[in-house]
Structures are given as structure tokens and as C-alpha cells.
Amino acid sequence: SNISALQKARYSYQPKLPTALRGDITKITCSMGAPTESIADQAEVKALFENTYGAPIARFTEGSNDFASKTINAGVILSGGQAPGGHNVIAGIYDALKKANSSNKLFGFLRGPDGIINGDLVEIDDKFMNEYRNTGGFDMIGSGRTKLETEEHFEKSRKVCEANGINSVIIIGGDDSNTNGAVLAEYFKKTNAGITVVGAPKTIDGDLKNEYIETSFGFDTATKTYSELIGNIEKDANSAKKYWHFIKLMGRSASHIGLECALQTQPNICIISEEVEKKQMTLAQVVEDVTQVIVKRAARGDNFGVALIPEGLIEFIPEVGKLIAEINDLLAHDADEFAALEDGEAQKTWLAGKLSAEAAPVFTSLPAGIQAQLLMDRDPHGNVQVSLIETEKMIIEMVGKRLKELKAEGKYNGKFSTQAHFFGYEGRCAFPSNFDADYCYSLGYSAFILLAQGLTGYISNVAELHKPADQWVAGGVPLTMMMNMEQRHGHMKPVIKKALVELDGAPFKLFASQRDKWAVETAYTFPGAIQYYGPTEVCDQPTKTLLAEKA
Ligand code: FBP
């Protein structure tokens, strides 16, 4: 069979629920708070969400409900990149829905938002569900990056739901997908479609968080997976003492993943993109900082180390960010001219003639390989695909060059042998940690209660996550509350604000207070592999980011 021993054992893991969600599901009710406002641009957001704006925060308490007398048929969508725990959100919805009324049905829309638009769906039954409990990945129903955002999409979705008797939709996704979920909820309400929409916060990047959402699911498992590998590499580096390892870490934009991994493994270097931007650092300065750590360690005879580099770095170096924006514009406007160029060299020459006086020298300073990567295919939105750019190799090459100069000046006398790594996809589909398994199951369970209560335009919410699961506080938060207006493709749009690393936040401060020591000394820590069974302090710990934020 293709079922590993661990997968088999995980099938029987019973995720932990907050106390309020244990027991008889017909004895749970929502206590509603006061009307809410969006975090900014209240008048504009309110005008766009006439029917759903200002809804109260919901918290679950003991009471009674009419779930047993209702028939709820729900459809679930997995949207965007994989994140460990998605299947458990579905399991939480499924179990709550069947407990409330065994004739309720749960459908899975296939391959992401396309499933609801095109009417590709499958009914989930016990056997199908049981094959995916506590497993990683999104292979149960698939995912996709189509954005559910046009009126045509909404109308098609309405028809598909009507044809299948579906009266509730759950969107498991990141900030964009949940923003679109809010717009869909508003549309359904405005058109009296009788379909409610509830979201669940997903992304390994950890950038869907705010006052209410303490973390997005998947971040815990992904960072633990990367930290295991980083710790192992640190051990290897300190054993052989001959390599500097440069590790690029996934996370399209924010550096939460890098920061969390640094707190878990205490590497010599961890670049935080948000700090680079705040300090308006040039690429040369970033390279110099890294170089100086290598020089200091070499002076102690340590010609080895580990450096973490966030995937989004280059776009946060102001001058490189501007260069990329210029290239994006040029490629979009003069696409035909560019396509007619013969080869990479011709492309570079063409570009050199078009770039501004500010951007041209930045382009020239980049290693040839990176120059070529900046000219590669764009994503459907015309953006550079940062996960394809080998930033770790760029840093290695530029640092190597700088070290040669210092050597010639007699300021460095070490050896610089390197290894480059990229940790990304390997963290997105691991078996969810107990934390993510419990959190996701609770999110799914909560999502069902919200929609059974007839609430729409909400995101499922589980808080107090630094405490043991029985003390978690569950409920729902209206999506409009998390919105502000931002410029997107030339238009002002309501969006859920993306959370970047805050330089005055506790996790960054903790890192900043230690990093000079970690830079020079060898202070590595070795988290080891995620443990699913054993003592609580080994198996159920949330991330260091969460613990620092809630301390
Ligand atoms: P989501 O924001 O959709 O959760 O995806 C996150 C992510 O894993 C990023 O960290 C990464 O940059 C991107 O997806 C990679 O996208 P793709 O899977 O399309 O290569």
C-alpha cells in the first residue's frame, strides 16, 4: 500500500478543540459584540459593502441553536498555495456539519475557485474524508490561483450553488482570497441569493494576521519543517567547518518565515526584508553587512556559517525594487519589441538603452545570471516571480567579489566556500503539526457554526493560541473589519491589509537583541523534526513568533 506508518497513525489523531466547541453542537450559540468599523477608509469601505459592513464580532458560548432543524449544504474551496492543515479545515467543517444534521452535505469544489465557477465539484463522504484527516497537502480537492472577482464569476458561482442546492460557501485562502470572499458575500446578499460565505485564514507566509487573526494556518508546520532542516545544516556546518550555507526561504513578500526560523535556529545571519526597506539600504550595503559577519568569523578561524535570506528580499531593496518596477513596465509596454530580440545579450542591450539613469547602474551591478532572471516570464499579473530568482546565489556571488577585494587590501584572510539552498515547497505539504492540525480543525468547526447561524462575510477565528487548545477562544470576525483601500492596477480597491514584519514588534526585537551575538559566535539551536507524539512541550508548542507576540 502507499500509506506510510505515520499516515496511518495520523488518521486516528483526534484534533483538540477549544472547550466551547466540545460537546453537543446544538448547545452552542453566538454571542455578538457591538457593530464594527474597518481599520481605515471607513466611508469608502462602507459604501462598497452596503449589506455586510459593520457586522459584529461573534464568539461561541453555551446556549441553544436551531441547527438540527435546518438543512445546510456547504461547498468548500481551497485557494492559492498549499499550506499544511487545509484538509483538517475541511474535516472540521465536515464533522460539525454532520453532527448538526446527518442529512447535511459538504461538497468540495475542485482545483480552487475554478471549481465553483465551472461547476466542478464532488460530494465528500466519510470514506473520502477519512483518507485525508491530519494529512498535509491540498490533494483532496486540489487548489488553484484563479481569482474569484468579476461579476461574471459571481453569477456563475451562484448558478452552480443553486444547481447543487448549496447554501453556504467556505473559502480557505490568504488575504486576496478572503478579500474576494468578502466581495462575494456582499454580492450574494445584495442579490438575495441566499448563500452565505465564510473564510478561513491560510498561508505559510504568515502575512494574513492582525489584531484578531493571530496567525494563518500552515505557518507553524512550514517554519518547523524549515527549522529542522536549517538546524541540521548548522550541525553539518559546525562539524565540517568548511562551508558557508546560504538558504533562501519561501515567503513571497513578508519575512515572517525567515524571522521565525531564525528564532528557532539562531543562525549567523538572517536578513529581514522589512528592515532593509525601512533603512533604505542599497544592495551594496546588504552585501557589505553579510561580508562583515564573514570577515569577523574568519578572524576567529571560523570559515563557516549559515545565512537565511527571505525570498522577497530583492523587491524590498529600494533601488532594486524600482529597477524591477521599471523592467515590469518596459516589458508590459514594449512586449512585441522585446519578444523580437534575438537572445539574452540583445535583451540586455535593449534594456540598458531604456532604463532610467538611476536604474541602469543597479542593473549593471547585478550578476549576469540574476540579470537574465529579471527578464524571465512574468506571472499573469505582470510581476516578477520572486520564488524563481536565485537571490541566495546573487548574494553569494556579490559577497565573494567583495571578500576578494578585502583580501587584496589585507583585511580578510579566510576561505569562502559556499553551498546554496532554497527551502520552499518542501514545507508546504508536510503532515500538519499538532498545532496546525488542532487549529485547522477548530477553524473548520467554527466556520460551520458561523454559517449555520446565517452569518456571512466572516472569517473563522480562533484566538488565544499561545494557550493550550482547550483554552482557545473561537468565533468569527467580519471581513470588512480588516479592510482598507489600496491602489491595485491603477484603481483603489478594498483589500485586507497584508501584515509585514513589524520592526517594533516583539518577535523582531527579540531577534535584534540577539543577532550580533549569533553572528559571530556559533550559537546554533537544533529543533529537530516535528514531533507528533510525545511530551506536550515537544509536540504542541506554537511558534516563537506567536509566543513573543502574546507574551
Ligand atoms: P499563498 O499566499 O497563496 O498561500 O502562497 C504562498 C507561497 O507559498 C509563497 O510563499 C510563494 O512565493 C508562492 O506561494 C509560490 O507560488 P507557486 O506555488 O505558484 O509557485
The interface predicted TM-score of the complex, written ipTM, equals 0.96
Is residue 478 helix, strand or coil? strand
Any binding-site annotation on 81? yes
pTM above 0.90, yes or no: yes
User: Would the pLDDT of 344 be above 90?
Assistant: no
DSSP secondary structure letter of residue 381: T
Q: Cell numbers 446527518 label which residue?
A: 102
Instruction: Report which protein residue has its CA nearest ligand 1's atom 18.
Output: 81
Ligand 1 contact, 253 CB (< 6 A): no
What does the pLDDT read at residue 443?
98
By three-state DSSP, how is residue 163 classified?
helix
Indicate if the pLDDT at residue 517 is higher than 90: yes
Grid cell 464532488 in the structure block, residue:
122
**202 Cα nearest atom in ligand 1:** 4
Which residue's CA is minimally distant from atom 20 of ligand 1? Answer: 387
- Over residues 105-129, the pLDDT tens digits come to 999 999 999 999 999 999 999 999 9
CA distance 249 to 206: 13
Pick 291 or 350 by higher pLDDT.
291
**What is the number of the ligand 1 atom nearest to the C-alpha of 386?**
12
Q: Can you tell me the distance from the alpha carbon of 139 to that of 161, in angstroms, rounded to the nearest whole number? A: 22
pLDDT of residue 11: 98
pLDDT at residue 379, as a whole number = 74
CB of residue 81 inside a 6 A radius of ligand 1: yes
Give the model's confidence band at 146: pLDDT under 50 very low, under 70 low, under 90 confident, else very high: very high
Residue-averaged pLDDT of the chain: 95
Q: Is the pLDDT of residue 294 over 90?
A: yes
Please write the tens of the pLDDT for every residue from 156-179.
999 999 999 999 999 999 999 999
- What is the band of 305 on the pLDDT scale with cuts at 50, 70, 90? very high
Catalytic residues: 205
Q: What is the mean pLDDT of residues 51-59?
A: 97
Q: Are 469 and 16 in contact (CB under 8 A)?
A: yes
Ligand 1 centroid, distance to 252 Cα (angstroms): 6
Q: Which one, of 519, 529, 309, 317, lies nearest residue 420 by Cα?
A: 309
**Where do the H-state alpha helices sit in 307-452?**
313-316, 318-333, 335-339, 344-354, 359-365, 368-374, 391-408, 434-452
Quick check: 296 pLDDT over 90? yes
Whether 479 shows a pLDDT value over 90: the answer reads yes
Ligand 1 center to 140 CA (angstroms): 18
CA of 120 to the centre of ligand 1 (A): 23
387 lines ligand 1 (CB under 6 A): yes
Q: Which residues pair with 475 in a beta bridge?
A: 59, 461
* Residue nearest atom 11 in ligand 1 by C-alpha distance: 252
Q: Give the pLDDT band (50/70/90) at residue 427.
A: very high
Report the distance separating Cα 132 and Cα 13, nearest Å: 12
Residue 63 φ/ψ region, left for φ over 0, alpha for ψ in the -120 to 50 degree band, beta for the rest: left
Q: What is the pLDDT of residue 215?
A: 98
Q: How far is the CA of 302 from the centre of ligand 1 (A)?
A: 36
Give residue 491's pLDDT: 86
Ligand 1 proximity of 475 Cβ (cutoff 6 Å): no
Question: Which residues, in sequence order, are bridge partners of residue 460?
Answer: 476
How many Å separate Cα 180 from the centre of its chain? 17
Please report the pLDDT score of residue 339 as a whole number: 86
How large is the average pLDDT for residues 263-281? 98
